[in-house]
Amino acid sequence: MRHPSGQQAFLACLVALAAAGCNGPEQLTQTTVSRDSGDFSLSHGLFQLSASASTQGQCSGWFYGNSCGVTYIATPHAYYCARPTCGDPIFDSIAPQVTAPITFAFSKPIYQIVVGVGGAWLCSGDYGSITVHNRKNTAVEQRAISISYPEDCGSDNITGSGMDSLQFPGGITSLVITPPQPWSWTAVVDTQGRLDTGYVTAAYAFSFYDQRPPTAASCLTGDELLDQQAMRDLLAVIWSGSKPDSLPARRRELRGFLFEQDSTGNLVSGTYPDTTINPPLDTLMDTPCQSVGVPSGPLLGIPVAGGHSHPFAPGASLPIQACGLQPGYVYNYDVKKYGGPSKADILRIADWVIPQYIIDSVNIYVAPLGTDTLNALTKVKKYPRVDPTGCTRP
C-alpha cells in the first residue's frame, strides 16, 4: 500500500474488533468479534460493509456508516458460516449458513484494495483466495489470503485473522472470495480433554481508494485523471502535435484518448489525427477549429477519457477560411459561453460516456460526465497551465 500507516491501522482494527474501537476515522462500533480463535462470534452490525476516508484519501471498509460514498452488493452474503446453526442466536436470526463463494460488486471502480478477514479456521488448511475483476468484469488477478498472526495458531492449530494486498493498479469493480478450508475440525475444548467440532467462520473488511491515487509528481489539481502522469503526457503530445507556434491557419486540433489496459490496469494513451487522403467533399477534416479523429484499429484498452487541443489563446481571432467559417464576420475563440468546451465537445461527452480534457495555450479544461450546455459553466473546471505559484502543467 502507498500508506503503510493506514495498513497497520487496518490490521490493528481487525485484531481488536472486540475492543471499544480503533483510533481515528477507522473506529469500529457494534462488533463482538474476538481475536481468540476459539471464541468467535458475530453481531448484526458486522455485516454492514462501509467506508471512512482517512487523511490520505484512503477508504476503509469497516462495518458501520458509509462516508466514502462507495456501496457494494455481497452475493450471497458478506461472510462465511459453516456451522449448521452458526452458533449465535443473533447470527441464526439474520444470517443463514453460507459456504458458496462470495462476490462483492462495488458501486464504482475502486483502487489498491486490501482485504482483511476475521474469524476462525485451521492454520494447516487453505485460508481462501481473492479474484479481482476489472471494469470489463474480466478476472485480472488472483491471490491467496495470508494469515496475519502465525503465532496465534498455537496448540489448537486455529487462527482468525488474515489479509492480502491486491496488486492490480486499475479500477476494480468486483471481487470473488473463496472460503478457508476445511469447513470443520475436531478440537479439544477444555482441560478435561473433551472434544468438540469447530467450524469455519469468516467476515471481510476492505481498505481501498475510491479514486486512482495521483502519479504526477507535482502541481496536483485534485482531479483524478489530470493528476495522472499518463494524462499529462497525453495532453503534452496533443499540444505539441497541434503546431501551436505555426500561423493560425496551419494549426490543427488534435484528438487523443486515455485508456486503461485490460490486463495490467495501467493507463496508456493514443492520438488520432484525421489523416484521410483525398476525402469526399462532404468529409470534415481536422482544422484549426475542429478534430474528428477517432481510434482506428484495436483499442489500447478501456477508454476512460478523451482529450483534444484548442490551439489558441482565449479570445484570439480564428482563421476564417481554414476553419470553414462564413466569410464577412469576425470569429474569436470563445471560452466564456460554455467554460472552455464548445457545444460539439459537450455533446461528445454524452455520446462517448467519458469525460473530456481540453488544452489551449493558457488553460486545461475538464468537462466531467454529466456536463451539458445548460450546466457547463458550473460543471467545467479550469486549471491554469502555469498557476500563480509558478507551477507548470503540460
Take residue 375 and report the three cell numbers written for it.
450546466
Burial of 92-125, coded b for 16+ CB within 10 Å and e otherwise, reads eeebeebeeebbbebeebbbbbbbbbbbbbbbeb
Q: What is the mean pLDDT of residues 112-123?
A: 91
Whether residue 8 is predicted with pLDDT greater than 50 in this model: the reply is: no
Whole-number mean pLDDT of the chain?
81
Distance from the Cα of residue 358 to its chain's centroid: 23
- Residue in the structure block whose three cell numbers are 499518463: 230
Name every residue whose Cβ is closer than 8 Å to that of residue 283 and which is 6 or more positions away in sequence.
276
pLDDT of residue 205: 84
State the DSSP H helix or E strand holding residue 143, giving kind and residue range, or none if neither: strand 139-144
Q: How much is the pLDDT for 94? A: 61
Residue 374 identity: L
- Give residue-wise pLDDT tens across range 128-163: 999 999 999 999 999 999 999 899 898 889 998 999
pLDDT tens by residue, 158-181: 998 999 999 999 999 999 999 999
Kind and range of the H or E element at 231?
A: helix 229-241
Question: Domain boundaries in the chain?
Answer: 4-209, 229-384
> Using 50, 70 and 90 to split pLDDT, how confident is the model at 290?
very high
% the chain with pLDDT above 70: 78
pLDDT category at 238 given cuts 50, 70, 90 is very high
> Which helix or strand (DSSP H or E) is residue 374 part of?
none
Evaluate if pTM is beyond 0.95: no
> Quick one: which of 281, 256, 283 has its CA closest to 268?
256
Report which listed range, 91-95, 193-197, 215-219, is most confident.
215-219
Tens-digit pLDDT profile for residues 335-392? 999 999 999 999 999 999 999 999 999 999 999 999 999 999 999 999 999 988 889 9
